[in-house]
Structure 1
Amino acid sequence: MPRQETSKAPRRVVGRRRGEALEAAILDAAWDELNERGYTNLTTDSVARRAGTSKPVLYRRWADKRKLVEAAVVRRNVTQLTVPADTGSLRGDLIATLTGASERQGPVLAQLSLLLAGYFAETETSFTELREMIIAGRRSGRDEIMERAIARGEIDPSRLTPRIAALPFDLLRGETMMTLRPVAPEVIEEIVDTIFLPLVRPADGDRSSD
């Protein structure tokens, strides 16, 4: 009697790999599995099969499924970080950067929130902690925008706390999570003009005359 076929992730037929090449293949496979199955249904078996390797190879690098998925998400987001715009003004930089991030990453962020629902429930964390993991040890585009604005005299550094610096980007993510679509231009302008800029602008007379 013929054997009944079962549904499995496709196995990648590859040559022998080591080091970074093997790790990249595994993380790519984990990312693909996450997108197809979601965190809850993803297994180390399915990732190993897709990557064309074995479970012991995975466990030598990552202690469990959670660590593997974290590494896959960090790698994918690091390779897709938004380059900050440089328009010559703080307002222009923020609007251009937020617009680009919304158009390119908005749908991905919304989808990722659904795919990682099981992860957030299991770890009792949120996108805030995941974002810190992604940007750990790296200079963010947000920091570059703020530093240029301080140098131009557009920001009073004494008013720019870490929470305020993150505010426009946090609000953009919040809008994206609520609507599951790119944020409208007028909403981005309101975030920048009505909420953020009044919090950081120098007091009258303190702005650099350059």
Structure 2
Amino acid sequence: MRRRGQELEDALLEAAYAELTEGGLAAFTLDRVATRAQTSRPVLYRRWPNREELVIAAIRHHDDRNRPPIPDTGSLRGDLIALLKGANRHRMQLITPVLAQLSGYFLETGRTPAELRRELIGERVTSDLTIIRRAIDRGEIDPARITPRVAALPFDLFRHELLMTQAAVPDEVIEEIVDHIALPIMTGTIPPPR
């Protein structure tokens, strides 16, 4: 039975992600992806004009398929902590096999990690922005306090910790990021004593 449409595209992206995580970017070729997906190179080229775009599409596909639900605990603090703890579990599964493989991608393409992140997110409303919008709707924060940098702050600090240690971020560090840095800036409140 011949695969078509979304079924075919899913199979191609899953094969591409498997090739990337198993062999790394140096061994990543459209021939290998086509062989794994049991199709031909022209089928791939009709969707992605080069391997760099296929790499991005494969990572985005994997991330979208494995994204945890956006937490809704009823409070900004609870949502931020739950989001970062969920990301801790989810991102460690993503970062371990892929991050080491992407150094060649950055050298090859001249792109930066920030540019790759923008490409992976695309037009999607991120989980942190959803949580912030809910908190604004509940009256927990004044929207005038929330600049793009402030909105990104909890995840930026989390991501920095994750990348610098290449290990799961301890719960107490997540709580410190939220309680002592993010919430005071977002709400204007004084952090609880340590």
Answer whether TM exceeds 0.5 for this pair: yes
CA distance in 2, matches of 1:87, 1:19: 38
Give the residue type in structure 1 aligned to 2:94.
V
| Displacement after TM superposition at 1:17 (Å) | 1.6
2:94 equivalent among 108, 117, 122 = 108
Question: Any residues of structure 2 matched to 1:84-103 within 5 Å, and which?
Answer: 84-103=70-89
Kept in 1, the 8 Å contact 2:132–2:151? The answer is yes
Moved more, 148-157 or 101-110: 101-110
Number of residue pairs matched by the alignment: 190
CA distance in 2, matches of 1:110, 1:170: 18
Aligned partner of 1:183 in structure 2 is 169
1:82 equivalent among 68, 88, 99 = 68
Spell out, residue by residue over 1:125-162, the C-alpha distance to the aligned partner (whole angstroms, 9 max, x if none): 23322222222222221111101111222212111011
Question: Any residues of structure 2 matched to 1:136-147 within 5 Å, and which?
Answer: 136-147=122-133
CA distance in 2, matches of 1:126, 1:132: 10
2:113 equivalent among 114, 127, 139 = 127
CA distance in 1, matches of 2:189, 2:85: 28
| Displacement after TM superposition at 1:123 (Å) | 2.0
Unaligned runs of 5+ in 1: 1-14, 205-210
Spell out, residue by residue over 1:177-196, the C-alpha distance to the aligned partner (whole angstroms, 9 max, x if none): 11122100111111111111
Unaligned runs of 5+ in 2: none
1:36 equivalent among 10, 22, 26 = 22
> TM-score, normalized by length of structure 2?
0.90
**How many percent of aligned residue pairs carry the same amino acid?**
50
Give the residue type in structure 1 aligned to 2:16.
A
CA distance in 2, matches of 1:127, 1:79: 21
Give the residue type in structure 1 aligned to 2:54.
L
Query: Is 1:24 the counterpart of 2:29 in the alignment?
Result: no
CA distance in 1, matches of 2:93, 2:162: 8
1:68 equivalent among 54, 79, 82 = 54
RMSD: 1.7
| Displacement after TM superposition at 1:203 (Å) | 7.1
| Displacement after TM superposition at 1:20 (Å) | 1.9
Give the residue type in structure 2 aligned to 1:123.
T
Aligned partner of 1:118 in structure 2 is 104
Kept in 2, the 8 Å contact 1:110–1:177? The answer is no
Aligned partner of 2:43 in structure 1 is 57
CA distance in 2, matches of 1:153, 1:116: 41
Aligned partner of 2:32 in structure 1 is 46
Pair 1:119–1:202, CA change in 2 (3 A): same
